[in-house]
Structure 1
Amino acid sequence: MNRIHQWVRGRWGVPAVSGLLIVASWVVDRAGTDAVLTGQWWLDAAEHATGSPVFTVADALMLAAAIVAGYGIAVKAVRGLLLRQLSIDLLVSVAAIGAIVIGNFWESAAVTFLFAIGHALEAATLNKTRSALAELIAVAPDSAIVMRDGEQVEVPASEVGVGEVVLVKNGAKVPVDGTVVAGTGAIDEASITGESIPVEKAENDRVFAGTVSRGGFLQVVATGVGADTTLARIIHRVEEAQDAKARTQAFIDRFSTWYTPAVFLLALVTGLVTQDVVLALTLLVIGCPGALVISIPVAIVAGIGRAARNGILIKGGEYLEASARIDVVALDKTGTLTEGRPELTDVVVLQAGHDRADVLRWAAAAEAGSEHPLARPVLEAAAAEGLAPRGLPTDVEPVPGKGIVSHVDGHRVLIGNVPLLDQFGIAPHAEAAEAARTLAAEGRTPMIVAVGSSVVGVIGVADRIREDAAEMVRRLHGAGVGRVVMLTGDTRLVAEAVGRAAGVDEVHAGLLPEDKLERVAELQSQGHTVAMVGDGVNDAPALATADIGAAMGAAGSAVAVETADIALMGDDLLKLPEAIGLAKRTVRVMRQNIAVALVTVVALLAGVFAGGVTMSVGMLVHEASVLLVILNAMRLLRHVDGRPDATASRRATVSAPAQESVAG
């Protein structure tokens, strides 16, 4: 009984009651026993035949149907008038009341009934297009098992404190953002990154609230709880984005503010000229721009929702539209095209009396006090070979763009490029320069090692290119991106090696952050819509300048989730062409919906003036067009993997290394 009560009070209650009253009116009328009402409950057949005012039970039922369906519409129309807005509801209200005044109860009931059904369908299908947001909210964990005073205590997830140890067992949802301190397990991170393959987690790995354990047992120290989790930030961002208006939608809204008064004026002029009240009222109904108004927001909501379900956060409708126009993508190298984890790959010995171990030992001893990112792979390689330095160098002096100068056991050690040797007066070493060129041409970052006034060798460090970099570039071209450009601070030879392996169209090397900004601005001045993909630190100026700034691996960055125009939650390059492809599909649907809405209105207006289209028929066609644009937008909820064609090959594996230069 309670469920029936809720249903009646829900969105379908009004059209259901109105529909039943219309059916009852038809039944009474068709039965042939309808009583005539003119202030008394009966009149004989003779009085009915003489043309006395007639108001039957069937009419009363039809009027009741119109009142039931039209009451809410009229209330919205009055509220709009109080805000000085001429709304669609006002058009329908005036037409329905006019039909009642002239005694056309059926037309009034039909128009309001169909309009009420249209409102219910819009609400139901808009809720459906927001299903991605509902799914995100549904995965939010309700409870957590926390270790307190040596015991396992189950508490609401919102009551977990930062720094507490949370237990994640097989099949359980992770209740907090945190770091694994003990145990191993497989975590399904589909709700965050869109990837369905579980990720193995061990000590020091990060986990996110809302993900699900698929095996193992983890102890996690909470670093983010409640509204401070990645999942909460995603939900907030998707909610805001789905409510944000695209430029096209803003234009439609401005258009509607002029269009609705124009329909009123057309109906008034037509009524005065033709003296046909029914025609004027019909024009009010036919002119409703309902499909036009709903055509854009329903596509935006569906497109952004589909993206979120795939681990792609788009800031709003404006950015979705801009993404569909992208024809140039600019990429940072380190951490974007490459893995961002450089490794020692080569040790070239150049001085007699020294071997590989000597060169690596001197390099590691000098780098032990360096903060440069390339110091780590040298130290790790030395430790793996049992050559780790016993102490720290006396001092370390960085030389920007050239390398470092260290003092180890009373010896001056230089690690860097040829200009560094020149600066400290070390005689030109042809073999060292040639070895450095060879390594750079192969995509490695060369570092010359000199002890005292002699060059002892050259070491090479490589940051491996991502295995799906070349496939991403191919898919970007397939998605309509004309140029893929790499912007990096690395040296020319290294950058070109990476560019060749990835298949990018242009390489710009040796750039400072402000240089990257200038390159992006230059591309924009040529009329291109530019997307910049970077790590959000060195690339911040270029990301802010680009039409679309995209951040990769944003699940671990609260700043990226909140600020990036497009945040790719997973560390998956192929999400970028998928995002652009989805944006183009969404804009295509928007244009299709606008075309359907405009063609419907024009065709109905032509039908009214040509004759044969009544108020009820017009409203039926009008609501059918509303349903059509909604169903068209809901196609966006279907999964598309972002490939340019159905036979696209699997990810290409690229083994060519890439690296970062001493200049950074």
Structure 2
Amino acid sequence: MQQYILSKKNVITVISGLLIVLGFFSHFVLENVGLSEWSLIIASVFGIMPIAIQAFQAMKVKVISIDVLVSIAAIGALFIQNYEESAIVTFLFLFGHYLEQRTLNQTRSAIKELTEMAPESALKQMDNGEFEEVEVDDIDEGDILLVKTGAKVPVDGIVLTGEGHINEASITGEAVPVNKQADAEVFAGTILENGTIQIRADRVGEDTTFGKIIELVEEAQDSKSEAERFIDRFSKYYTPAVLVLAIVVWAFSQNIELAITILVLGCPGALVIGVPVSNVAGIGNGARNGVLLKGSEVIQDFSNVDTIVFDKTGTLTVGNPTVAATELYEKDSAETLGYLASVERESDHPLAKAVLNQIGETNFYPVEKTEVVKGGGIVSSVAGHSVAVGNVALMEKENVTLSKKVQKDVKRFEQHGNSLVLTAVDGELKVLMGIRDQVRPGVKANLQELKDLGVKNLVVLSGDNQGTVDVVAGELGLTEAHGHMLPEDKSAYIGKLQQRGQIVAFVGDGVNDSPSLALADIGIAMGSGTDVAIETSDVVLMNSNFSNLPHALGLVKATANNMKQNIVISIGVVLVLLTSVFFSEWMNMSIGMLVHEGSILVVIFNGMRLMKYKLKGRKEQKEVSAPAEKVKIS
């Protein structure tokens, strides 16, 4: 019966409102006092039922909730035959709850939109080679699927054949179509705007990037910040205090109506709802713009960040380096380049890809006994030769002698901002390559936006040589730049910054930098929803768009300020109402409840402003990176 009554709360609200209208109509128009009183009594009883049930459920777990205060006040008003007050107070309380739920649902529209974007069916290749429509739940990893123009991509996968442009707004927050060809990665929930493609399912159901985004946003919107936990603790003691105050006032004044009025006026409704609605709206805005804020706690911590530490490759730079300069230390280098390509083919490191692209077609040799030297490179056995590929530190470790000419070349390459890849065969240096990554377009303007938002220190930490890091830092105007840093060195440096009292955010690619992402006060991962990025970081920039970082920081600052505004409004209204009941003659239960419900709507609508938040003064930024230096092969 209790659940049935609670499920009909909205219907009860409507009936209660109609009975109140009938009561006033009977009193002032028909002048029928009996009909008026019975209408208001029935309206009060109807209104009290769901509120009293919620109060009883709260009392069972030893919590004195707002429902307890309103129930006592309404029953007390009935007891002293103040039917008008009782009916109006319960109706306004129920109607206010209805409006709260409706407006809160609007702030949760981001997760609604995401779930509505989730594909429900797909064209799956059957055993006879034909494609048939099946439900998404019936797709397994490895299945071949056909996606036609206008259809949603049903799973995460790889394009096998075909070509088309895909709108990835559900993943990245940007609606600019992305061209997809064979071997390109596609994501569930994105839309093929033109073309036809066949894909292989790699991740299905909840394991897709889209599924994880939905899960993250749901968890984030349900989580509680420190401010919310404080308000929960405050309400736990505040509501009993209001009840005690009402009892004390009644004991001294013997005025039960005054005591009941205090119960109504002391309800902290706006205080309880104000902070959650700000958090939900802020997280929703982020989700729409390709920024995943993993919980309400992140908002408060992120808004206080004064130092941001960046990894270089893939963060400040595009992460697609190319060979800018090469020196060969033997006349016939074809065989050595074949050895180098054979070793690099075993790696998926961006520098290895740059080397392979530079070498092009060559003879490949069998690679054996590969040893990865942390922070140095790779040592392998290739066609019976010992081949070391890596940085200067690796050459020293392998006792490779660097001539004066090589040392000059190394210094020159570093001064021009190149990362070094040295290749030695059987202990003798054969090849030196300088590889340079390009600074992300617009990143300089984005860093200035971070400074404008109050970030005092911008630091880059990289495993690259100091010369390369200094070139990037000089171009971007960073506060500090440190090269030759292993992952543990980065973590140690972040620890030092925190010991100095700085609140540190670390921005990395979410793969090699996972220790730093975890150690920083706020870990921010660049990447299109990679598993490591999502699990390790506090904030994920889904499309690796650096310009989303200033938006994210501005958003959390606006959200934190919005929370404070709602707290001030809520407490201010309660103080004014409680003061008015003692120092004015016009204050009563009905007016007090009306003001309360009004304040609840004010804080809700104030929070909902965050759904439309945009960084002030933002313009489209276009920067052209300097071209890579070209050095002739000697």
Normalised TM-score (structure 2): 0.91
Q: CA separation in 2, counterparts of 1:414 and 1:264?
A: 78
**Which one of the candidate residues 390, 402, 420 is aligned to 1:446?**
420
Q: CA separation in 2, counterparts of 1:419 and 1:242?
A: 48
Deviations 1:195-218 (A, max 9, x none): 110111111111111111100001
Mark the CA change 1:94 to 1:301 in structure 2 (over 3 Å): closer, same or farther: same
Q: Which amino acid aligns with 1:382?
A: I
Mark the CA change 1:270 to 1:235 in structure 2 (over 3 Å): closer, same or farther: same
Question: Structure 1 residue 565 and structure 2 residue 543: aligned?
Answer: no
**Which one of the candidate residues 618, 623, 626 is aligned to 1:652?**
623
Deviations 1:556-603 (A, max 9, x none): x23433442112211211122211111111111100000000110011
Helix, strand or coil at the partner of 1:215: strand
Contact 1:114–1:619 under 8 Å retained in 2: yes
Mark the CA change 1:258 to 1:439 in structure 2 (over 3 Å): closer, same or farther: same
> Greater shift after overlay, 311-320 or 242-251?
311-320
Q: Which amino acid aligns with 2:124?
A: V
Partner residue in 2 for 1:498: 472
Partner residue in 2 for 1:600: 573
TM alignment of 1:91-130, pairs within 5 A = 91-130=69-108
Deviations 1:144-181 (A, max 9, x none): 11111211211111111221111110001111111110
Q: CA separation in 1, counterparts of 2:17 and 2:552?
A: 44
Q: Which amino acid aligns with 1:579?
A: A
Partner residue in 1 for 2:447: 473
Higher Cα Rg: structure 1 or 2?
A: 1
Mark the CA change 1:403 to 1:271 in structure 2 (over 3 Å): closer, same or farther: closer
Question: Structure 1 residue 531 and structure 2 residue 505: aligned?
Answer: yes
**Which one of the candidate residues 183, 190, 196 is aligned to 2:169?**
190
Mark the CA change 1:163 to 1:505 in structure 2 (over 3 Å): closer, same or farther: same
Partner residue in 2 for 1:86: 64
Q: CA separation in 2, counterparts of 1:115 and 1:484?
A: 50
**Which one of the candidate residues 614, 618, 622 is aligned to 2:596?**
622
Contact 1:593–1:629 under 8 Å retained in 2: yes
Deviations 1:468-489 (A, max 9, x none): 3323322221222111111112
Mark the CA change 1:414 to 1:633 in structure 2 (over 3 Å): closer, same or farther: closer
Partner residue in 2 for 1:382: 359
Structure 1 residue 28: Cα displacement: 0.9
Contact 2:414–2:468 under 8 Å retained in 1: yes
TM alignment of 1:103-502, pairs within 5 A = 103-148=81-126, 149-348=128-327, 354=331, 358-359=332-333, 362-370=336-344, 371=346, 373=349, 374-383=351-360, 388-389=362-363, 391=365, 429-447=403-421, 458-502=432-476
Structure 1 residue 395: Cα displacement: 8.2
Contact 1:137–1:235 under 8 Å retained in 2: yes
Mark the CA change 1:573 to 1:595 in structure 2 (over 3 Å): closer, same or farther: same
Structure 1 residue 517: Cα displacement: 1.2
Q: Which amino acid aligns with 2:356?
A: L
**Which one of the candidate residues 16, 23, 27 is aligned to 1:29?**
27
Q: CA separation in 1, counterparts of 2:130 and 2:383?
A: 54
Partner residue in 2 for 1:547: 521
Partner residue in 2 for 1:16: 14
Helix, strand or coil at the partner of 2:153: coil
Structure 1 residue 399: Cα displacement: 6.8
Q: CA separation in 2, counterparts of 1:350 and 1:559?
A: 41
Mark the CA change 1:147 to 1:333 in structure 2 (over 3 Å): closer, same or farther: same
Q: CA separation in 1, counterparts of 2:400 and 2:533?
A: 46
Helix, strand or coil at the partner of 1:536: coil
**Which one of the candidate residues 542, 548, 554 is aligned to 1:581?**
554
Helix, strand or coil at the partner of 1:550: strand
Q: Which amino acid aligns with 1:574?
A: S
- Structure 1 stretches of 5 or more lacking a match? 1-5, 36-55, 659-664
Q: CA separation in 1, counterparts of 2:88 and 2:546?
A: 54
Q: CA separation in 1, counterparts of 2:208 and 2:393?
A: 48
Q: CA separation in 2, counterparts of 1:491 and 1:235?
A: 40
Mark the CA change 1:91 to 1:507 in structure 2 (over 3 Å): closer, same or farther: same
Mark the CA change 1:214 to 1:602 in structure 2 (over 3 Å): closer, same or farther: same
Partner residue in 2 for 1:662: none
Q: Which amino acid aligns with 2:306?
A: D
Q: CA separation in 2, counterparts of 1:412 and 1:179?
A: 37
Deviations 1:1-37 (A, max 9, x none): xxxxx9x9766422221111111111111124416xx
Mark the CA change 1:11 to 1:306 in structure 2 (over 3 Å): closer, same or farther: farther
Structure 1 residue 435: Cα displacement: 2.2
Q: CA separation in 1, counterparts of 2:64 and 2:388?
A: 77
Q: Which amino acid aligns with 2:310?
A: L
Mark the CA change 1:412 to 1:28 in structure 2 (over 3 Å): closer, same or farther: closer
- Structure 2 stretches of 5 or more lacking a match? 630-634
Structure 1 residue 378: Cα displacement: 2.4
How many correspondences in the alignment?
A: 620
**Which one of the candidate residues 607, 611, 614 is aligned to 1:633?**
607
Structure 1 residue 418: Cα displacement: 5.8
Between the aligned residues of both structures, percent identity stands at 41
Contact 1:397–1:405 under 8 Å retained in 2: yes
Structure 1 residue 364: Cα displacement: 4.3
Q: CA separation in 1, counterparts of 2:144 and 2:359?
A: 36
> Greater shift after overlay, 431-440 or 151-160?
431-440
Q: CA separation in 2, counterparts of 1:458 and 1:618?
A: 79
Partner residue in 2 for 1:44: none
Contact 1:26–1:58 under 8 Å retained in 2: yes
Mark the CA change 1:196 to 1:408 in structure 2 (over 3 Å): closer, same or farther: closer
Helix, strand or coil at the partner of 1:532: strand
Q: Which amino acid aligns with 1:484?
A: L
Partner residue in 1 for 2:50: 72
Structure 1 residue 380: Cα displacement: 2.3
Contact 1:440–1:494 under 8 Å retained in 2: yes
